[in-house]
Chain A
Amino acid sequence: MNHFDEAGAAVQAALDAGARYADARVMVCRTESMTARNGAVEDLGSDESAGLGVRALVGSSWGFYAVPDLSEPAARAAGRRAAQIAAASALVAGSPAELMPAPPVTASWASDCKIDPLSVPLADKGDLLVRATAAAKEAGADLAQANYSIWDTHKWFVSSEGHRIDQHIRECGGGVTAHAIGDGEVQRRSLPGQYGTRGWELVEELDLVGNAPRLAEEARELLTAPLCPAGETTLILGGSQLALQIHESVGHAIELDRILGWEAAFAGTSWLDLSRLGTLRYGSDLMNITIDPTFPGALGSFGFDDEGTPAAKRHAVRDGIWVGVLAGRDSAAVAGLDYAGSVRADGWARLPMVRMTNVGLEPGPHTLDEIIAATDDGVFMDVNRSWSIDDQRLNFQFGCEIGYEIKNGKRGRMLRNPTYTGIGPRFWQSMDMLSSETIAWGTPNCGKGQPGQIGHTGHPAAPARFTDVRVGVQG
């Protein structure tokens, strides 16, 4: 069964109502999530969502309308409504929007999946979470939580230019967290977020039960560990924290809609100036950032974005120089670029917008052991606990769950409440060692847009070293 006809009816109705371009997505989504706490299942949800979203371009503005009804009459009504909404924008019109030319595509794509996560018995999945939290509790956690999430999405996309694309994308992931609660503070250790466009095999590889006792012990130890000292030092970041660093201080900064001011009131703009694309130094020569929705199994992977552009890998930063952006067909046309491919929507009821796909750091020449061995005095931090960055994506302060002193090439004492702060390009230009031990980390909770949308993004990253970083900011 497919839904091309309903999508096509919506598109045609929008054109008939005056749109000069229209596209529509029908999506049928199944999600399942479970949480366990202290050895018992806490919440289990199984959700189904089906609907159609149609966008119509009239003058300078998109109009978008979404309905949960997949009948053709409802689709046609939605198409008309989208065009009417777009037309109402003429009261406050801008320059007529154009779309970067793109050949129509007829295609079908599905993500790889060894074990269909929805086919794994609920009892087995529940037992896994229960056992993981029980193991953490037994090892000393005051509070142990475990969770998994599964997304199973079918999409049918039709455009007025002739696109007809269907995709089936399966994503899943999970984790376990141990809390130790002291008199005046709470410490936490968790498996860093592991999510991908993969099957249940991803969750099995996490070994939630096996890792839980270590996490509980580390959380307890953190309660009495010395505070991360304040000052400037050499900072080594673990891979998962570097993934967050990339997400916040590179991924969002290279979103073309932000650069063009389209997100100015909420998410913010970007410190990047398009006139310097191709010449601006973003980081050290070791910094090579790619936009790669073809990365196998990563959370931001797909066959086609939500405008029908085929997935393709390209550089955003090459040898430290800023060379690329995340773009859609409309923003690319404004900027005079010849590529798009980074537009997605959070479900059928939301307008597609520029989103990160997989924005990651290409591997470096070192290993984490080599980086530590080459460091006389510094701090190692990993696993994000708090993240804050300004509306131009420059001034950041991140907190991690755990830190360690690095002295004379060896890992020393555990440090609690490690934080570091800096200015994006200055920080990236100080990167002097980079590991080759890349993992495709996933972020399933990236917020952007109004109305708010949650995006799934991937971030291949490996441990790296940065010099003269301010650490140990406390409240």
Chain B
Amino acid sequence: MSAELQLAAKVVELIRELAGRSAEAEVMVRHHALALTRFANSAIHQNVAEATTGVRLRLHLDGRTASGSTTVTGAQGLRSLVERTIAAARVTPPDPGWAGLAHPAALHISAGHPGSGEHSGLAFGFDEATARATPAERAERVRAFVDAAGGLETAGFCRTEYLSAAFANTAGQAVEGRTAEAAMDGIARNAGFAGAPSGLPGGASRDGVARLSASRLADLDGALLGARAAAKARATADAVELPPGQYEVVLEPTAVADLLQNFSVFGFNGKSWAEKQSFAELGKAQFDPSVTIVDDPLGSRGEPAPGLPFDDEGTPARSLVLVRDGVTQAVTHDRTSAAQAGAESTGHAAPTSRSWGPFPAHLRLEAGAAPAGGIPDGPPSIAESARPFVARMRRGLLVTDLWYTRVLDPKTLVVTGLTRNGVWLVEDGEVTRPVGNLRFTQSYPRALGPGRVLGIGAESVLLPDNWGGAHYAAPALHLASWNITGNASG
């Protein structure tokens, strides 16, 4: 039994002692070791690590619910947490939406799961070396990234995370699990970072980016990523400005991850769906038939387990097909949204899911078929999986990354944002010139609607989320139309 599960069991015992056996309680304990080595101006300037243990308690007592958490995990700290939460539950207004506790259920992990054991070579995706990575090991990858940029200015991070967690409730569910993850994300710039570029009043892209998430730090190749970012940066010189309008686009995996993130938070969120704020309509062909989207917290053959095997309500995590062959199949639920919708929890409870809704954090857009003739040759500034689409595009844009995307209307999922880290005009199958950054205002589900997806790349790339805790497996996408609404001139 892990230290985390022992701690969770202690809190359950305290609840029984102080609130009686009728109290319903859930306890989640997380030990999180996060380390991040950050570089800018081609030197490490911030280098941080933390090791914290937190206990979260949710208590339902006499029809009323309260939650609390603490990082003070000694006997007095735990007792204080329990007493405080009991006191809060006794005076708060009634909670008619309480959906009860998860009953004991086994986790879905096994050596035969695609993301673990015999398939990945990892015990449920867990790599001890990544969990114990040192600042020197992260610095080595930064060194390689910087060197591979060949003198261009670089910036970014190398991150390792270790999470060991346990859940216990008063209904008898008690589960534990651990994960480790590594990520690297960096840019190279074909000019210095400080100050505004002369004669380029905003929007001129001079950066190239490369990023990757992995279950093993050993799988992150700083040199490869640095070279890729630098190749993109070098290809951005002398960018031109294009007018707003509808453009055919090829989105590289780094850009597609943003689509998946917005689908996740606003589209497949079971609470938003129940409240009719989501575009999702179950059983309806809302996407092109080539589109299949899966949430895979337990990992897959190519992406060993990136998440915990249970959620914050103790519900075992499992693979969930959200869109199959263009038809929306499911949204994600915690126990509250499931009760509201007359469904079962899909194992997506989080500390804030009762307020913000449960959403999937491990989305994968299924890759397309490999091109019959193999991947065409192309400059290293173009992601391999995007090359077949560039080669067949008569006129359109190749987009590396999307930035600062925000939702104008959740129901239609109209999003505005900008391109970043490299955008090029493609004419007659060739990249002809770099383009300054562009603003778009585009409904994401409409962009992937029936008949609008011209191709899906043959490789899904595992990409980290900016804020940690989520990642996205994204292939390149070739789309018929993207609504560009502004350029560097406004």
Contacts and interface: CB of A to CB of B under 8 A. Distances in A.
Nearest to A386: B406
Contacts of A102: none
A417 B407 CA distance: 12
B193 A61 contact: no
A263 interface: yes
Nearest to A125: B92
Contacts of A81: 49
A141 B50 CA distance: 44
B488 interface: yes
Interface string A377-399: 00000000111111110110101
> Of A81, A84, A265, A470, which is in contact with the most chain B CB atoms at under 10 Å from its CB?
A265
Interface in B42-65: 42-54, 65
Interface in B336-370: 352, 354-355
Contacts of B97: 40, 42
Interface of A: 34-36, 40-51, 53, 60-68, 81, 84-86, 88-89, 91-95, 97, 121-123, 126-127, 130, 142-143, 147, 179, 181-182, 184-186, 259-266, 269-275, 349-351, 353, 385-392, 394-395, 397, 399, 417, 419, 421-424, 426, 447, 450-452, 470, 473-475
Contact of A259 (B139, B194, B412): B194
A265 B193 CA distance: 10
A470 B403 CA distance: 21
Nearest to B69: A47
B416 A391 contact: no
B73 to A, nearest CB: 7
Contact of B406 (A186, A273, A387, A391): A387
A123 B39 CA distance: 49
A262 B154 CA distance: 10
B72 interface: yes
B110 interface: no
B440 to A, nearest CB: 9
B140 to A, nearest CB: 7
B300 interface: no
A423 B488 CA distance: 8
A372 to B, nearest CB: 25
User: Main SS of chain A's interface residues?
Assistant: mixed
Interface string B166-209: 00000000000000000001110100111110000111000101
A387 B439 CA distance: 12
Contact of A422 (B50, B143, B490): B490
Given A259-B195, A261-B192, A395-B490, A474 B441 contact: yes
Contacts of A65: 48-50
A395 B418 contact: yes
Interface in B437-490: 437, 439, 441-443, 466-468, 483, 485-486, 488-490
B69 A45 contact: yes
Contacts of B187: 264-265
A92 B44 contact: yes
A259 to B, nearest CB: 7
A385 B406 CA distance: 9
Given A65-B50, A92-B143, A423-B490, A390 B91 contact: no
Contact of A93 (B44, B54, B85): B44
A184 B414 CA distance: 12
A65 B47 CA distance: 9
B409 A417 contact: yes
B121 to A, nearest CB: 29
Contact of A64 (B49, B68, B209, B406): B49
Interface residues of B, number: 106
B261 to A, nearest CB: 14
16 contacts: A35-B355, A49-B69, A64-B47, A81-B49, A89-B135, A91-B140, A92-B44, A126-B92, A186-B409, A264-B153, A265-B40, A385-B408, A421-B485, A423-B490, A475-B408, A475-B442
Given A40-B97, A122-B88, A261-B193, A46 B67 contact: yes
A431 B414 CA distance: 29
Given A68-B73, A186-B411, A452 B468 contact: yes
A392 B203 CA distance: 8
Given A121-B91, A271-B196, A419-B416, 6 more contacts: A40-B96, A93-B43, A264-B207, A388-B406, A422-B490, A423-B489
Interface in B400-423: 403-412, 414-418, 420
B470 to A, nearest CB: 12
> Of B37, B39, B442, B490, which is in contact with the most chain A CB atoms at under 10 Å from its CB?
B490
> Of B38, B138, B354, B420, which is in contact with the most chain A CB atoms at under 10 Å from its CB?
B38
Given A48-B71, A262-B40, A85 B49 contact: yes
A452 B411 contact: no
A122 B88 CA distance: 7
B238 interface: no
Contacts of B134: 88
A419 B404 contact: no
B47 A126 contact: no
B146 interface: yes
B109 interface: no
Interface in B62-102: 65-73, 77, 80-81, 84-85, 88, 91-97
B34 interface: yes
A64 B52 CA distance: 14
A397 B415 CA distance: 11
Contact of B71 (A51, A97, A386): A51
Contacts of B42: 92, 94
Contacts of A182: 411
Contacts of B201: 271, 394, 423
Contact of B47 (A61, A270, A387, A452): A61
B203 to A, nearest CB: 6
Contacts of B486: 395, 397, 421, 473
A62 B43 CA distance: 12
B354 A43 contact: yes
Interface in B368-398: none
